[in-house]
Structure 1
């Protein structure tokens, strides 16, 4: 396998015209793109070369995009995957996120938005060049300190113990800090399903988290209508837990 470049992308798209247009567009913006025209070819290329991220169509011959993504995630759970597809059904989007996709973009799409999302994903999921870097587990949210491992929120000496699901949801919001956490992402990753009852359950958990964080008016969980939630914390920063000695 060749050395990893932070700009190397695997693009798997069975429409050769669209694939070449997108490849050229991404290369104009300084990405190094390898284009494959079916899922089996894409899988063989993934095994042979090293990539920073994968952009996959869903409906492809020989090996569909969902099957390809499942194999990619099994081989490398940290590999960023973006689905870029005409399949706009909610069930398909949920399946994509259940497989660990970082984003699911439906055609037609705004190419500038794809660039912005790709940049954000690569910054968030970049593979370290040395020893594996642990994910952030502590966050400073205004006057609040959140420790995801112990599930504790501390505020001026007072401590609130969160339930496992409350801690999972707050951690996910922190990972999308000052950005929109799509509702379907939270439901698929935490509740493993998206229906009326799980959606109502998530709303209840969001209400609880707002109550826990109400002591600092700068810290808000904003409802983005029709999309999801956004955790806003102007002084927030993420930290890694120091290893035990």
Structure 2
């Protein structure tokens, strides 16, 4: 049975250890981050199906982390952990994009119940094919076709329309060779020499954009076309 991937972002090491161990015993696959910046990095690489995020953390607080997540992902359920009891703080957390919150101290049983309740409500949204709503997850990158943006923790790249179109064609068929002629005919309408040289320039630029993650590669398949591997 497939395990639900859960990102736990909590700087209290003892508490995080107990939560992680208990959730793993209940069938979850856990990735733990000790601060908000590490949480963002792990979100991009781990691609969780649910996040449990503490609000008060070093380097990047939970509110800022959730804003970053929601800028690229409106679906993944998020639960805030908070030691604060003021109503205003809870409201701010929910307005930021969290789906639920739980106040410290809490019982692990209550947390598991909250997690399972959220998953029941959102499970149909957790398994869209890569590319739904124009969003493609490629290793540590998030490619937003509609916004013509390629995001990585180290930079956010604004793509030209042609670059976005090429990357979309390749991302739609990961690990499969897309023929040069098909790209040229679909995007340029003609596979002449001039258009082919233009495409080669765009391919080189896209390959340079992907240099931050070695697991994502745009491969030239000699005599055939290009393959995006991730």
TM-score of the superposed pair, with normalisation by structure 1: 0.50
Gaps of 5+ in 2: 134-230
Q: How much has 1:110 moved relative to structure 2? A: 2.2
- Counterpart of 1:66 in structure 2 is 63
String of CA shifts for 1:155-214, please: whole Å, max 9, x gaps: xxxxxxxxxxxxxxxxxxxxxxxxxxxxxxxxxxxxxxxxxxxxxxxxxxxxxxxxxxxx
- Counterpart of 2:35 in structure 1 is 38
CA distance in 1: counterparts of 2:111 and 2:5, whole angstroms: 16
- Counterpart of 2:99 in structure 1 is 102
Q: How much has 1:128 moved relative to structure 2? A: 2.6
- Counterpart of 2:73 in structure 1 is 76
Which of 35, 44, 48 aligns to 2:45? It is: 48
CA distance in 2: counterparts of 1:110 and 1:48, whole angstroms: 29
Cα separation, partners in 2 of 1:78 and 1:13, compared to 1, 3 Å: same
CA distance in 1: counterparts of 2:55 and 2:96, whole angstroms: 12
Gaps of 5+ in 1: 134-245
String of CA shifts for 1:114-148, please: whole Å, max 9, x gaps: 11110111121121344869xxxxxxxxxxxxxxx
Check the 8 A contact 1:6/1:52 in 2, yes or no.
Answer: no
Check the 8 A contact 2:35/2:58 in 1, yes or no.
Answer: yes
String of CA shifts for 1:26-82, please: whole Å, max 9, x gaps: 111111111110000000111112111000000000000000011111110111110
Check the 8 A contact 1:55/1:81 in 2, yes or no.
Answer: yes
CA distance in 2: counterparts of 1:83 and 1:73, whole angstroms: 14
Aligned length: 129
- Counterpart of 2:113 in structure 1 is 116
Q: How does 1:1-245 map to 2 (within 5 A)?
A: 7-126=4-123, 127-130=126-129
Runs of 4+ in structure 1 off by over 6 angstroms are none
- Counterpart of 2:210 in structure 1 is none
TM-score of the superposed pair, with normalisation by structure 2: 0.53
Q: How much has 1:6 moved relative to structure 2? A: 5.5
SS in 2 for 1:63: coil
